[in-house]
Structure 1
Amino acid sequence: MRIPRLRPHHLLILCTAMACQSVWPPAALLAQQTPAIAAARVHSTPPKIDGNLDDAVWEQATVVTSFLQRDPVEGAPASERTEVRLLFDDEQLYVAFRCLESEPDRIVASHMRRDADLGDDDNVVLVLDTYNDGRSGFYFGTNPYGAQREARLSNEGRNSNEAWDCVWACKARRDSAGWSAEMAIPFDQLRYAEQDETVWGINLGRTIRRKNEEVFLSPSPQEYGFGGAYRTSRLATLHGLGALRATTPFEIVPYAQTASERDLSALDTGVSNEFNSGFDLKYGLTPSLTSDFTYKTDFGQVEADQEQVNLTRFSLFFPEKRGFFLEGASVFDFGERVSRRGGSISPATLLFYSRRIGIQDGHDLPVLFGSKVTGRLGAWELGLLNMTTEAATFVDEEEEERFVTDSGLLLDDEDDRLAGSIILDTVDVDVLDTLDAKRANFSVIRVRRDVLARSSVGIIALNRDPGEESGYNRALGADMNLSLLDAALNVRSFLARTWSPDLEGEDMAGLVSLEHRAGDTETQLSYLDVQENFNPEIGFVPRDDSRRIKTAFRYRPRPSTPWIRQLSFGPRLTYLMDQGGTLQSRDLEFSFFTNLEVGDWIGLRLRDRFERLDEPFDIHEEIEVPAGDHRFTSIGLNLFPNDSRRISGDASAETGQFFNGTRHRLSTGVGLKVNGRLTVETDYEVNRVNLPAGDFTTNRLSNRLLYSFSPDFFVRGLVQWNSKDELVGGNFLLNYRYRPGSDLFLVYNQAWDTEGSLHQRSRSLQVKVAHFWNR
């Protein structure tokens, strides 16, 4: 099947024309008024956090009921009544939600585990901007099971860090009239400045999932998109707190761990046993500046990375999952914004990528100690990070090609044969590859200054010291983030340089990016320049020696059709050249998505791509894509049903040309949720590639099972298969939070090779106890 080609100049003209018509936001957006509410001080016994709202002390609080829809009918009154009350004492903020429901038997609740994605359920949220500057905030959410979810918000709420772990209390209950929830949030878990009269930004929200309805005390405009619901520049104000005294935290979490491991691919295949202990310490230097220290950090309980099939020439991008690096991570952001599309993560050019610390060539390096300081000093935001990893040696078994001569010798290179000898054949042999990772130190200094209403400028400095004078790597950068036109226009830029002893000149990178939203339209335009020797060894660079232009336009109308909630369509162009101006890659796409009233999404994508290969590309085992210019087109279909259903799933398919051949891809996922306790998920992807040099098929299968005994006690099993890497991996985790902030972990991992026949590669068992203590 031949697919019509998209023309680059047509898309550029279309994007420019559409962008010009939407330069200014509507007057209604600029004139929006935000409400104000008040919390009442508790002078007697505080409420018991049990989900029941029958404590008499709640009668002291003012009832907040003025909720408006953000979706589906922007600005309309909420279809179901919601009541919220707020109390506080010297120690905590107390919040009570009463969610009345005309059809209580249709309340959706499918998650009980802490930190679960509550977007599939009925849920309530609390957002606090404790500096009341519209720049950052804290998010707290729960559902009818009392599952807890919290996050740190930054960049006006555009970015969220769900790995932030707050010690707070929450309970919920269902009854014949709806459901209710109570929260208690200690002030020492928040950061704020002392004032004579404390005023915070606040938002309260509720999702009525059976109606796909979102209501808020202060709803942000729909034009901010799906990720704009918690925009901190659109909050109400919270009064009544008086001269709230700021507290400085002191928390220590010591841990003890015992582990047993056997690696059948190593030289020594015996069982190794070890005992480790360490601790994490958090101390408040000031009410708004916090220091963290970790000794012998262990990340054994972190879930394994999601398997990916790589059919490109470039490195895959995996998100950070380790808690020490994720808490306060937003201050260290420098570079492009990492984009997520259709469940996948697009690689971004980052000057700091924390997965470069403690992970090398797929191996976990032992972290000896680390320290971090994050927070604010007036209009300044500060981040300091220092980590030291220990030396370690790893031995991997790899398969390499050898040449067989007529004399029976095995040669690494056919040019090594003796005069007169003949190469008879080639064979694959298993060889041991040794990785010697030296002790290394990593340092990051980040300073950012607030300017204008909600904009910032900043600098960052990074240093990697491997203990050898010839091996250092350093980087320095400056960036700017402007939020203009009442947050309708966002401008980001950076300029950075690196220093390495073996590289000189052509070592800079820079970015200018614009993003504009107005009404039903969104426009993006960016230019990225990465020179050949730009080498941030603590960063991530998908492609060096490149100049890249990206532009996109989306139109998201809401037609007056009963069964369609919203349409979303438009073009996207990525145009990449080398530093000499020669085209290297181009990706043109036009996509059309329909959001049905029942919550399902259906999408169609048409892509036209160009890739220039200066040398052959080994795409799979002994199959090569030849050097030269390759232009290929494809068409794809995406289905994303509403995940709130008990049985849900998704599917996507793509077919068309692929370099000098064809590719057919199918990806599907199915999920089953049973009464909030049991969740079973299966994802499968298959690629069938036909090339003149040969045909091949890749398979990726992932099975995940979650069972929650309570919001604080769950088990998780994960089994993944990747046929391209000939690997099956299994991971089992038991996590019991026996008191707030204190955890028991039981982790079992096993890996199998699938080459030839299924045989075990390694297995390990870990038990870890971490105990939280604060003053």
Structure 2
Amino acid sequence: MLYFVRVINQQLSTVIRAIPRLLCCCLFSLPLTAQKKNEAYQLHIRRANSPVKIDGVIDEAAWQAADTATNFYMILPMDTSYAQVRTDVRMTYDAQNLYLLVENYNKLPGPYMVESLRRDFSFLKNDNFLLFMDPFDDQTNGFSFGANAAGAQWDGLMYEGGKVDLSWDNKWTSVVKNYPDKWVFEAAIPFKSIRYKKGINTWGINFGRNDLKTTEKSSWAPVPRQFPSASLAYTGVLVWDVPPPDPGPNVSIIPYLLGGINKNYETGTKSDFRRNAGVDAKVAVTSSLNLDLTVNPDFSQVDVDKQVTNLDRFELFYPEKRQFFIENGDQFTNFGYSTIRPFFSRRIGLGVPIRFGARLSGKLNRNWRLGLMNMQTAKDEELGLPAQNFTVAALQRRVFARSNIGFLFINKESLNYDPDKVTDKPVYSRYNRNLGLEYNLASANNFWTGKAILLKSASPGKSGHDWAQAANLNYTSRSWNINWQHEYVGRNYNAEVGYVPRQGYIKLAPQITRLFFPSTGVILSHGPQVTSTTFFNEDMRRTDNETMLSYAFVFRKRNTLTAYASNTYIRLLAPFDPTNTGKDSLATGSQHNWNTVGLDYVSKPQSLFTYSLSGRYGGYYADGKRLTLGSELGYRFQPYVSIALSSSYNDIRLPQPWGHTAFWLVGPRLDVTMTNTLFFTGFMQYNEQLKNMNLNTRFQWRYRPASDLFIVYTDNYLPEPFYVKNRALVVKLVYWLNL
């Protein structure tokens, strides 16, 4: 298998040379106008002729008069027939709310399968129903709402035509009621909680259902199996009897009060008592454009980051979880690629408090989106960090079928700061600016997607080689997935408010996947994938390459098995400690080459006990050896208790001075969902590489929609000897008030 990897690596050059011709052919064959694939699937919605009570009981006259969307289509296991499980959907509205009623019928006996009552559940691990809503009918942006069979809510912002950001949280109500032959989901979504264009009477809409007992995924408007059911390219049409009502003045005030105490045992300082207050505000400038304001925000209730073992030469990425930066954040944070992000909101307020901020974001009309944000942070006298102001401006224009062109400007300014006068503290730049242009390609049928970006930075003392350019083109059919990506980042390109862990390189990364679909048997699909990622310096001298051949099996019960083999070559550009423990470093310019084999398995989601296992073994730097084992174990006492344990083990054997190095990373987690408004989470992480043990517990009571009481307790320990490093307790009360 390793021999085959090396052969593939040699042959990829032929493929690379053919890619530019393929790019040109594809771009010039794209449709210039949007044609909706599922326009024939229409659900007519009329104003309710009676009050609607959200109780899961279908006894209102409004529901008897509403049209029904039924006869769902199967997406998985096969997308060539109607769904086996029956789902009926009805919608109506009044002056304040959009109402949804769903009857999810059973086909097989037995209990429903859910993780817990926790909000924003995992789609694949729950019997659930989801609504995908495109209120601008642009097939790109929208909202998603839903619930699992136990009543846990799901809500998120949709972006890039089929992705859902579940960090978004808003005010709406729902109930799930179970019957012998079905479970009923009923919801009221306030018009004030969503954004939509005033005056239009058609929205893109689709409904998705996941039924784990039959392992069937289905949708009302048919979606090809290679795409997610959330794909907005395949929505049907929600036809209003009259345009949706004007939500009227829409202002929400969200104040918080906080009290807490923290103690640092390492420094031996006295306990620090926290008393804090702040406020957020949401103002609907129009029905589709929103102004968000924040004064003295606090994010102590946000989930802690899940730690990973760091054996990488470059900075790791941790996603943004703070609510203020989420809504319409895709315009800012999704500009670029995963390792070329000119804007990364976690750079704002890093180690210092945010004093205030404002963001104007949303749709100007069907074709234009706007995003403006300004944030102000405090200064830190002890570190010498000046007060800083962050300004981000984004403008996006829809073109062709579902594509768009985007513009981004970022300015980070240190206020009242002269770096020439700094002597005994770290020196910070006076300013850093980035200017970017991006083209996002999405064909009408979603088979062709891609992106091209051009970025330019400006910083004091940095000029020349201060730009970045990248592009990719992806083709996805039922049987093939072919992707080409290249990147260039200049050695002086500087994105201080972004995530660009590596500079001064050129990257080529082709990928090809082929899938086969047996008509019978336990295997749903299987096929090989070949990837090759090569880095060059700016003089086109190769510095890195990883070529991988993998073969994946997806079973009809949705368990998966993947085997792979890879070849890795690295020429170090800087000294590097291969254990990241500070023992010693390999020299700049030293060359390393090794082979690796690995196996990953994920169990079927229907079981109460679920697990995933992974293992890899092969060479490592300096002719060493590395064994990595990982697991994710979970058991649920549905729907109230979920227990999970994640672990990874690394065993590294190198010549002296490193010798034998081994370390564990273990993270047990307990989720208790007493009701769908009362939650407790306990999460512990033992990181042998960092010599730290962290405990985080959070109690949350949603005493009314979008209003919460949080009690958060954290502890950090030195594991050997067992010693408390620091601990903190925070109580926070949040209230959502609509004016």
Please state which band the TM-score falls in when normalised by the shorter chain: over 0.9
**Alpha-carbon shift at residue 16 of structure 1 (Å):** 7.8
Q: Does the residue aligned with 1:391 lie in a helix, a strand or coil?
A: coil
Q: CA deviation at 1:243?
A: 2.5
Aligned to 1:171: 175
1:624 paired residue among 563, 581, 585: 585
The answer on 1:763 being equivalent to 2:703 is no
Q: Is the 8 A contact 1:50 1:182 kept in 2?
A: yes
Q: How does 1:473-622 map to 2 (within 5 A)?
A: 473-484=432-443, 486-619=445-578, 620-622=581-583
Is residue 686–residue 697 contact of structure 1 (8 Å, CA) maintained in 2?
yes
Cα deviation for residue 585 of structure 1 reads 0.6
- Residue number among 140, 157, 165 corresponding to 1:135 in the alignment: 140
| Post-superposition CA distance 1:190-240 (Å, at most 9, x none) | 111222x6111111121111121011111221133xxx2211111000113
- Picking from 378, 382, 386, the partner of 2:370 is 382
Any conservation in 1 of the 2:145–2:153 contact (CA below 8 Å)? yes
State the distance in 1 between where 2:224 and 2:410 align: 38
Can you give the 5+ residue segments of structure 1 that lack an aligned partner in the other structure?
339-347, 395-434
- Residue aligned with 1:223, SS: coil
Matched with 1:675 is: 638
Matched, 1:462 2:410: yes
Q: Is the 8 A contact 2:50 2:61 kept in 1?
A: no
Instruction: Label 1:3 to 1:692 Cα distance change in 2 as closer, same or farther (>3 A).
Output: farther
How many residues get paired?
Answer: 713
Query: Which amino acid in the other structure matches residue 646 of structure 1?
Result: L
Alpha-carbon spacing, 1:49–1:443, altered in 2? closer, same or farther (3 Å):
same
Instruction: Measure how far apart 1:15 and its partner are.
Output: 7.6
Quick one: which amino acid aligns to residue 161 of structure 2? E
Contact residue 2 and residue 565 of structure 2 kept, 8 A: no
CA deviations 1:59-78 (Å, max 9, x no partner) are: 11122212110111213111
Q: 1:140-180 CA deviation, whole Å, 9 max, x = no partner?
A: 110121110111111111x3211111211111011211211
Tell me if the contact between 1:679 and 1:705 (Cα under 8 Å) persists in the aligned partners. Answer: yes
Check if 1:373 corresponds to 2:342. Answer: no
The answer for unaligned runs of 5 or more in structure 2 is 420-429
Match of 1:656 among 618, 635, 652: 618
Counterpart of 1:10? 11
Quick check: 1:220 aligned with 2:223? yes
2:49 matches 1:43: yes
Change over 3 Å in CA distance of 1:558–1:184 after alignment to 2: same
Contact 1:604 1:638 in 2 (8 A): yes
Alignment check: 8 A CA contact 1:334 1:351 kept: no
Residue 187 (1) aligns with residue 178 (2) = no
Identify which of 699, 706, 726 aligns with 2:691: 726
The letter for the 1-side match of 2:298 is: D
Cα gap change, 1:729/1:440 in structure 2, threshold over 3 Å: closer, same or farther? same
User: What is the CA-CA distance between 1:617 and the residue it aligns to?
Assistant: 1.4
What amino acid is aligned across from residue 474 of structure 1 in structure 2?
R
The answer to whether the 8 Å contact 2:599/2:615 transfers is: yes
Residues in 2 aligned to 1:485 and 1:76: alpha-carbon distance in whole angstroms: 23
Contact between 1:18 and 1:553, CA under 8 Å: does it hold in 2? no
Q: Deviations over 1:393-419 (max 9, x none)?
A: 67xxxxxxxxxxxxxxxxxxxxxxxxx
Q: Does the 8 Å contact 2:37/2:233 carry over to 1?
A: no
Deviates more, 1:108-117 or 1:534-543: 108-117
Residue in 2 aligned with 1:58? 63
Is the CA contact 2:108–2:214 (under 8 Å) kept in the aligned structure 1? Answer: no
Question: Pick from 366, 384, 387: which aligns with 1:439?
Answer: 387
Counterpart residue identity of residue 254, structure 2 = V
1:310 equivalent in structure 2: 310
Can you list the C-alpha shifts for 1:337-384, whole angstroms capped at 9, x where unaligned? 43xxxxxxxxx210001111112xxxx421111110101112221111
Structure 1 CA distance, aligned partners of 2:697 and 2:38? Answer: 50
CA contact (8 A) 1:52 1:181 kept: no
2:345 to 324, 349, 354: 354
Aligned partner (choices 640, 643, 655) of residue 605 of structure 2: 643
Distance 1:51 1:32 in 2: 30
Secondary structure at the aligned position of 1:80 is classed as coil
Deviation at 1:704, TM superposition (A): 0.6
The match for 2:713 is: 748
Q: How far apart are 1:328 and its partner, in Å?
A: 1.5
CA distance in 1, matches of 2:135, 2:237: 10
User: Which residue in 1 is equivalent to 2:330?
Assistant: 330
Indicate if the aligned counterparts of 1:15 and 1:571 stay in contact, CA closer than 8 A. Answer: no
Q: Tell me the residue number matched to 1:423.
A: none
The answer to whether 1:391 aligns with 2:379 is: yes
In 1, the alpha carbon distance for the partners of 2:18 and 2:601 equals 30
Q: For residues 384 and 190 of structure 2, what CA distance do their matches in structure 1 show?
A: 46
Q: Which amino acid aligns with 1:323?
A: Q
CA displacement, residues 310-329 of structure 1 (integer Å, 9 cap, x when unaligned): 11211111111111111221
1:485 CA drift (Å): 5.6
- 1:3-52 superposed Cα distances (whole Å, 9 cap, x missing partner): 7752422234468889999988999x99766411111211322x211122
CA 1:769–1:295: 2 relative to 1, 3 Å = same
Q: 1:60 to 1:277 in 2, by over 3 A?
A: same
DSSP 3-state at the match of 1:286: coil
State the alpha-carbon separation in 2 of the partners of residues 485 and 523 from structure 1. 18
Please state whether the residue corresponding to 2:285 is helix, strand or coil.
Answer: strand
Instruction: Determine helix, strand or coil for the equivalent of 1:210.
Output: coil
Alignment partner of 2:100 out of 86, 95, 108: 95
Structure with the bigger percentage of strand: 1
Contact 2:30 2:443 in 1 (8 A): no
Q: 1:66 to 1:102 in 2, by over 3 A?
A: closer
670, 677, 685: which one aligns with 1:712: 677
Greater Cα offset, 461-470 or 589-598: 461-470
Q: Partner letter of residue 135 of structure 2? A: T
Q: Contact 1:383 / 1:445 at 8 angstroms: preserved in 2?
A: yes
Instruction: Give the match's secondary structure for 1:324.
Output: helix
What letter is aligned with 1:190? Answer: I
CA contact (8 A) 1:357 1:442 kept: yes
Q: Secondary structure at the match of 1:624?
A: coil
**What is the percentage of aligned positions where both structures have the same residue?**
27
